[in-house]
Amino acid sequence: MPIQTLDKDVDAAEVVSILRRDGAVIVKNLVDDTVVDAVRAELRPELDAQGLASESNFNGSLTNRISKVLAVAPSAAAIVDHDMVVDVANEILLPHCANYHIGSMTAIEILPGEGAQALHRDDTPFPIDHAGMELQIGVMWSLEDFTEENGGTRVVLGSHRFLRAWHLPHLDSWESAVMPKGSALFYLGSMWHGGGANRSNAPRMGLINVYSLGWLRQESNQYLNHPPEVAARFSPRLRALLGYTPHGKGDDQCGSYRGDCPAWVAEPPVPAWGGNRGGYVGTAEDVKAQAGV
Ligand SMILES: O=C(O)CCC(=O)C(=O)O
């Protein structure tokens, strides 16, 4: 069975329902080429300079990766903070936390000749299996057409139903995410997946963002990848997604600073979830001027 693929004007509720049923779903052409081309151009110098620094058995030796995505590619804000992503993440994660944040954000360029990445779950850093509670959702964006030949992400549909202590998936039962440039593959953190082998003669570039329950430690340190002066360039909602907001209130709060939100990100206040159209809002100076600091 191929991964179910929906058009971009679909309701978030339908995306959520298929995600819960299959563990993964594609929404086609969710951002247009202008955004994708800007992100690709901004990522290019850092991919070339640092992309192979995280080479490993798991990451591969012919795969460029970078984690400080927004620091080098501010246009990626439109993707990381996309309304459809927030609408879907609200449904999957908010039943289990007061707010959620980005656990990792990685631009991944699989070069020709790279082999397939090991299939894995994204939630393995956290030693909890709690029926009905997803710890994370992932969204892989195709920054060019994904095909089976160029290494489109492999997913094992239905594998989110496996208890990690008991089941391994059939390692030959995966499907490739075949999707045009600007599409999004949504998948649950408990679902087995991995990069494909690139048997084509061109690179395959994607941006994979994982959103996790707000009381979990972020897998990749967003405060170092996106320090305050970088985070200040983005919308309040995106700053909150980067982790610049506490989880919970009062005595139940985690991540507080001077008793509450870090002042420089709290003004203008972090809005109610779902209310903000997000995106790149200007330089640090613009943000400070708006906030009157
Ligand atoms: O590159 C891909 O398609 C998937 C990568 C992935 O799942 C990972 O690195 O954790």
3 CA distance to ligand 1 middle (Å): 16
The percent of residues above 70 in pLDDT, for the chain, comes to 87
Give the pLDDT mean for 123-152. 94
193 lines ligand 1 (CB under 6 A): yes
pLDDT for residue 19: 98
Look at residue 270 in the predicted model and tell me its pLDDT: 39
- Average pLDDT taken over every residue of the chain: 87
Ligand 1 centroid – CA 57 distance (Å): 13
Q: Which has the higher per-residue pLDDT, 256 or 114?
A: 114
Cβ contact 150:204 at 8 Å? yes
pLDDT for the residue 70 = 98
- In short, whether 195's Cβ falls inside 6 Å of ligand 1 is yes
Summarised one tens digit per residue, pLDDT across range 27-62 is 999 999 999 999 999 999 999 999 999 999 999 999
Please state the atom number of ligand 1 nearest to the C-alpha of residue 59.
9
Residue 115 Cβ < 6 Å to ligand 1? no
Calculate mean pLDDT across residues 107-135. Answer: 93
Mutating to test ligand 1, I would choose from 59, 64, 117, 124 the residue with most ligand atoms within 8 A of its C-beta, which is 117
Q: In this predicted model, what pLDDT tens digit does every residue of 204-245 receive, in sequence order?
A: 999 999 999 999 999 999 999 999 889 989 998 999 999 988
3-class SS of residue 78? helix
Point out the ligand 1 atom lying closest to the alpha carbon of residue 122. 10
pLDDT per residue as tens digits for the range 262-290? 434 444 333 333 333 333 344 445 444 44
Task: Domain ranges for the chain, please list them.
Answer: 5-219
Phi, psi of 204 (to 5 degrees): -120, 110
| 64-105 pLDDT per residue, tens | 999 999 999 999 999 999 999 999 999 999 999 999 999 999
| Superfamily name with CATH number, domain 5-219 | q2cbj1_9rhob like domain (2.60.120.620)
Q: How many angstroms separate the CA atoms of 269 and 265, rounded? A: 7
Distance of alpha carbon 3 from alpha carbon 148, whole angstroms: 12
Question: What confidence score (pLDDT) does residue 259 get?
Answer: 56
Q: 23 CB contacts (<8 Å, ≥6 apart)?
A: 155, 156, 157, 158, 159, 160, 161, 187, 188, 190, 191
In terms of C-beta density within 10 A (0-12 exposed, 13-18 middle, 19 or more buried), how is residue 103 classed? buried
100 vs 130 pLDDT, higher one: 100
Whether 186 shows a pLDDT value over 70: the answer reads yes
CA of 263 to the centre of ligand 1 (A): 36
Q: Which residue lies with its CA nearest to atom 6 of ligand 1?
A: 194
CA of 195 from ligand 1 middle (Å) equals 5
209 lines ligand 1 (CB under 6 A): no
Mean of pLDDT values over 149-165: 88
Q: Which residues are within 8 A (CB) of 15 and not within 5 positions of it... i.e. 6 or more apart?
A: 6, 25, 27, 84, 88, 186
Residue 1 has pLDDT above 90, yes or no: no
pTM exceeds cut of 0.95: no
Q: Is 194 in the pocket of ligand 1 (CB under 6 A)?
A: yes
